[in-house]
Amino acid sequence: MTMNADTDGKLLPPAALFRSGPGALVLACLLLAGCDGKQAAQPPYLEQVKVETAALSSDALRASGTGEIKARVESNLSFKASGRVLSRSVNVGDHVKAGQVLATLDPTEQKADIEAARAAVAAQEATLRMATSALQRRQTLTKSGVLAQKELDAAEQQFRSAESDLASLKARLATAEEGLAQTELKADADGVITARNVETGQVVQPSTSVYTLAHDGDRDAVFNVQESALSGTKPPISLEVALLSNPEIKAQASLREVSPALDRSLGTVRVKLAIEDPPPDMTLGSPIVANVEVEKRDRIYVTWQALTSKTGKPAVWVVDPKTKTVSLRELQVDRYDTSRVVLTGGLKPGELFVTEGAKFLREEQQVAYSEGAAQ
């Protein structure tokens, strides 16, 4: 730096310029003005943000729920007679054939009824034989004129009465034999035993359910669904069920039945889906998950990172590409998904919204931006 001299010819330090007269003061002001000019020439600082272009995307409204696989037809099997259970021949999970004996009652009483009925039939058959013989004799005597017609009529009446009594006793014997047959509980179809409700030695009544039999054939996926989920009027676009333990094993399904009754304790409704060509691994009782596609539509969505708040409502910062300034825009939200927020209004296709760097923005602030979704 150049040193300055005073009137005596001595060099003065720079600080002494302020004390050396009016000229030095003017020089110092010029130096300061030159510094201010350099600072004014620097460009203003712009907040760096990342933006994304709003675009319509196909949005599928989906739902899912867990349930289990059940047979289309199930029957509760019970004895038609009362008695003590003598034996059980099958257990839960066994596959049975139609007509197979599943359990028996103590048949002592029924066998005694059969013996009594057979004895009564035998005695009546003897009575009928006597009435037949008497009728034949009287017919011969009447033809020869030895016996009056009224005697023949009486014999015919006794014969018809004996014949009627024999028919009644035979019917009673058949009833007793049917009662013996009812001490055996048989499967009414091919299927799998899914429940057992009695034990050996237990006394049961005709209305007591002994076994539950799931018939072979069609299979249903059964769910307990919240009543609010059934409020829509449109049928589902697609239904798919998959094993909970192995989602790769799946099958298409269709809505078969919605119960009209509400389980008030749970607030749910029983829904049954018909499974189309179920794989062999989808066995009875298997836990499954149903994936339902309810509706398809075009929606704009934003990432969670872009979401902010305006007067307590969801909003995003929108960038004007002409002025590069931002403004806070309130949004109308359809739903909140795991990775995105689906909108029904607030953004239009083609508009730019901030995905990163929105924390310190203010209205009408000018920003510098690069386009790309938030990471």
Name the β-bridge partners of 329: 316
Extract the residue ranges of the chain whose pLDDT is less than 50.
1-12, 14-18, 20, 25-33, 37-38, 374-375
From the number of C-beta atoms within 10 Å of its C-beta (0-12, 13-18, 19+), residue 322 rates as exposed
* Closest listed residue to residue 303, CA positions, set 217, 372, 360: 372
Residues 363 and 319 in one domain: yes
Point out the domain boundary residue: 138, 161, 182: 182
Overall pTM > 0.75: no
Q: CB within 8 A of 205, min separation 6: which ones? A: 82
Residues 242 and 342 in one domain: no
Give the pLDDT score at 229: 65
Nearest to 310 by CA among 335, 329, 284, 293: 329
Whether residue 307 sits in one domain with residue 191: no
- Per-residue burial over 252-290, b = 16 or more CB atoms within 10 Å of its CB, e = otherwise: ebeeeeeeeeeeeeeebbbbbbbbeebeeebeeebebbb
Q: Can you give the residue range of the structural domain that contains 116?
A: 107-182
- Same domain (yes/no): 208, 219: no
Q: DSSP code of 366?
A: B
Do 253 and 316 belong to one domain? Answer: no
pLDDT reported for residue 209: 93
CATH assignment at residue 354: 2.40.420.20
Q: Tell me whether residue 248 is in a domain.
A: yes
CA–CA separation, 7 vs 179, rounded Å? Answer: 147
Q: What is the DSSP letter of 93?
A: T
DSSP state of 266: T
Report the CATH number at residue 124.
1.10.287
3-state secondary structure 28-71: HHHHHHHHHHHHHCCCCCCEEEEEEECCEEEEEEEEEEEEEEEE
**How many contiguous H segments (helices) and E segments (strands) does the chain have?**
3, 24
In a shared domain, residues 188 and 101: yes
Contact 63, 292 (CB under 8 A): yes
Whether residue 285 sits in one domain with residue 198: no
DSSP label of 244:
S
Q: How far apart are CA 138 and CA 146, in angstroms?
A: 9
R_g of the chain computed on alpha carbons: 49
Cα–Cα distance measured from residue 319 to residue 361, given in angstroms and rounded to the nearest whole number:
11
Q: Which of 265, 296, 327 is the last residue of a domain?
A: 296
The amino acid sitting at 7 is T
Burial of 291 (0-12, 13-18, 19+ CB in 10 A): middle
For residue 205, the domain's CATH number is 2.40.50.100
The predicted pLDDT at position 12 comes to: 47
Are 93 and 208 members of one domain?
yes
C-alpha–C-alpha distance, residues 104 and 183, integer Å: 5
Residue 4 lies in a domain: no
Q: What is the number of domains present in the chain?
A: 4
Q: Give pLDDT, residue 238.
A: 80
- Residue where a domain stops, chosen among 296, 326, 354: 296
Residues 90 and 202 in one domain: yes
Helix (H, G, I), strand (E, B) or coil at 145: coil
Residue by residue, DSSP assigns 209-224 as --EEEEESS-EEEEEE
The Cα–Cα gap between 61 and 83 comes to 57
